[in-house]
Structure 1
Amino acid sequence: MDTKFLESFLIVAECGSVAEAARRLNMTSAAVAQRIKALEIELGQELVSRVGRTVRPTAAGLAVQRHGPALVRAARDLQAIAAGDIPSGQLRLGATATAMTGLIPHITASLSERFRQIDYFLQPGSSVNLYHAVLAGELDAALIIEPQFPIPKAFGWSTIRQEPLVLLAPADLQVEDVYKTLAEQPFIRYDRNQWGGQIVDRYLRGHSLTVREWAELDALDAIAALVDRGLGVALVPDWAPPWPEGLRLQKFQMEDSEPRNLGVLWANSGPRIAAIRAFVEACEDFP
């Protein structure tokens, strides 16, 4: 059995759409449908049924959906076990939105040059969700914001970038005093459900700053775009480039701010530990 066909079925079953599964797999819908059909022929059972525009697993499909992930993990682990201490197999990585664009391309390119036996599964998400995915064994490692609580001893942490808070202001706004600007201008808040947003909230409360908040967003590039259009100011971590192109912004570093620590969280054991350690080293070598 080709485990890639099984993985394709599991993604279709999860999202209930061949088109959405194709988008996630970077394939055509026809190619995904062919994989599902080939798997059905091999197993001798119909695995999915169409209901309108959605796809639902049949009874046989539900059984495969329950046991399939373990088979996929076992096949993935077997490749890494056979390679011994040579980094190989599929490395399942998570990254926040800014890390996915600013760090992951460089790090994985550097790693691929040295270890061509490694292939990658990349999952975007919030630091909170990715943290729990690593602890649950769903991901091998993740580039996230450092949590404000102790990390379990079975997992490792390494800070690779410190991002101070900066005030973003429109290009034509006269800023003589950053605190006065924060108090007087409409304020676009970085979502307090995000660990980075909680750093901003602590800064405002620690400096007894009252802001005229009108929006709260979890996407830093969207916040920067709103500031660019003159819709307010924002306090955000100075995240790794690239930033959205064409923005006309003023950026003022808050000298006394708590930085947002971006780092790598990983599992200290498992069949893919050689590949995980190679990834961590590549992260720590990031310029």
Structure 2
Amino acid sequence: MDTRQLRSLVAIATHGTFARAAEAVHLTPSAVSQQIQALEQELGVLLFERSSRPPRLTTQGSQCLDMAREMLRLAEDTKAGLRGDRISGTLMLGSVRSSALNLLPAAIVQMRHRYPALKTNLQVSLSAALIADVASGRLDAAVVAEHLGMPPSLRWSPFLREPLWLIAPHGTPADSIDSLMARMPFIRFRSPVPLANLIDTEISRMGIVTNDVAEIDTIGSIVTCVRQGMGISVVPHVALQGAEDEALLRLPFGRPQVVRRIGIVERIAAPRGEVIARLHEVLTQVCGEYGVARDVNAQNPDGGSTA
């Protein structure tokens, strides 16, 4: 087994056919086919179901693909470390798909400009799945909200502490939050993420019965609906960065105003710890006044979740 065989395997899975994979790795299709056959003989398993068109990975092939990607990334990182280039290689990064994605692309672009040798591979999923992938090593780090039940092998470092706002369409007369939420149509954030639970818990604690007119699973879509006059809602500060959002009525949500925290989860003995620390620094800068400096002694959260 060598890295050339593994690169061909990954290329086939990425591009779908042996011919396209051959172009990607600059070989002939027959050479790629010979590499895969040699790999199959060495491992003693079939990696592809060749009776299907295009060829489909077998169960063992899927397992081997995960191994190949990890081995290639490890080889790349090892070469970078031997060269003394610590901020290089590929950072396998995950993120929740809520408003955290408003911040992460800008940070990734800044990291790319600062460290041209560093590559990022971003995967978007739910918090629980991302935390499991970090714990298993499939991801180097992930951007998630503060989360209960963090495995002891992981460290969560917040980079954002932001307030939540009740927002209403332009021209809505200013009133108390209780009055607005009791009489105006309410757009509820409905998603299996900590932020949705945080909002629902505070509404229940305040004893307010809302007039729900919609349940939407993305914060960006909720803000758009409020802009167009559909109703009111509760969103985090990071969701209100556009010039068109300045006209919305904003009132502090909760008594006292509720805040949520977003951070980076990584393994305590993270092999890409230096890169992750630099990313945390950039994210803190992107967050502006609500950015949270990294605490090098931080461990996983041990109290009630605020996000």
**TM-score, with structure 1 as normaliser:** 0.78
Shift of 1:243: 4.3
Partner of residue 74 from structure 1, selected from 60, 68, 71: 71
- Percent identical pairs in the alignment equals 23
Q: Could you tell me whether the CA contact under 8 Å between 1:133 and 1:139 is conserved in 2?
A: yes
Shift of 1:135: 2.2
Shift of 1:81: 2.5
Partner of residue 33 from structure 2, selected from 15, 19, 40: 40
Mapping of residues 197-208 of structure 1, within 5 Å: 197-208=196-207
SS in 1 for 2:171: coil
Rounded Cα–Cα distance in structure 1 between residues aligned with 2:242 and 2:128: 23
- Counterpart of 1:168 in structure 2: which amino acid? I
> After alignment, is 172-181 or 248-257 more displaced?
248-257
1:65 corresponds to: 62
How many residue pairs get aligned? The number is: 266
**Structure exhibiting the larger radius of gyration computed from Cα positions:** 2
SS in 2 for 1:239: helix
- Counterpart of 2:275 in structure 1: which amino acid? A
SS in 1 for 2:226: helix
- Counterpart of 1:188 in structure 2: which amino acid? I
Mapping of residues 150-165 of structure 1, within 5 Å: 150-165=149-164
2:301 corresponds to: none
Q: Does 1:189 find its partner at 2:192?
A: no
SS in 1 for 2:212: strand
> After alignment, is 224-233 or 63-72 more displaced?
63-72
2:167 corresponds to: 168
Mapping of residues 236-255 of structure 1, within 5 Å: 236-239=235-238, 242-243=241-242, 249-254=248-253
2:299 corresponds to: none
Shift of 1:223: 0.6
Shift of 1:153: 3.0
Q: Could you tell me whether the CA contact under 8 Å between 1:169 and 1:232 is conserved in 2?
A: yes
Rounded Cα–Cα distance in structure 1 between residues aligned with 2:242 and 2:5: 40
2:267 corresponds to: 267
2:292 corresponds to: none
Q: Does 1:9 find its partner at 2:12?
A: yes
Rounded Cα–Cα distance in structure 2 between residues aligned with 1:220 and 1:56: 39
Shift of 1:279: 2.7
1:95 corresponds to: 95
Shift of 1:121: 0.2
Rounded Cα–Cα distance in structure 1 between residues aligned with 2:114 and 2:87: 10
1:221 corresponds to: 220
Rounded Cα–Cα distance in structure 2 between residues aligned with 1:267 and 1:77: 16
SS in 1 for 2:238: coil
Q: Could you tell me whether the CA contact under 8 Å between 1:127 and 1:194 is conserved in 2?
A: yes
- Residues 194/204 of structure 1: CA separation in 2 closer, same or farther (3 Å cut): same
Rounded Cα–Cα distance in structure 2 between residues aligned with 1:33 and 1:178: 62
Q: Residue by residue, what CA displacement relative to the aligned partner does 1:162-183 show, whole Å, maximum 9, x if unpaired?
A: 1211111111322312211111
1:128 corresponds to: 128
SS in 2 for 1:164: strand
Q: Does 1:257 find its partner at 2:257?
A: yes
Q: Residue by residue, what CA displacement relative to the aligned partner does 1:210-265 show, whole Å, maximum 9, x if unpaired?
A: 11113222200111111122211111222256449688532222261321111111
Rounded Cα–Cα distance in structure 2 between residues aligned with 1:2 and 1:119: 22
- Residues 89/174 of structure 1: CA separation in 2 closer, same or farther (3 Å cut): same
Q: Which runs of 5+ in 1 are unaligned?
A: 13-17, 22-29
Q: Residue by residue, what CA displacement relative to the aligned partner does 1:68-104 show, whole Å, maximum 9, x if unpaired?
A: 211220121122233336232210111233222x322
Q: Could you tell me whether the CA contact under 8 Å between 2:227 and 2:245 is conserved in 1?
A: no
Q: Could you tell me whether the CA contact under 8 Å between 1:141 and 1:266 is conserved in 2?
A: yes
- Residues 4/182 of structure 1: CA separation in 2 closer, same or farther (3 Å cut): farther
Structure 1 runs of 4+ with >4 Å offset? 2-5, 30-38, 48-51, 240-248
1:24 corresponds to: none
Q: Does 1:109 find its partner at 2:112?
A: no
Q: Residue by residue, what CA displacement relative to the aligned partner does 1:5-54 show, whole Å, maximum 9, x if unpaired?
A: 43343356xxxxx5xx9xxxxxxxx9569559574353249946697xx8
> After alignment, is 79-88 or 188-197 more displaced?
79-88
> After alignment, is 2-11 or 233-242 more displaced?
2-11
2:142 corresponds to: 142
Shift of 1:207: 0.6
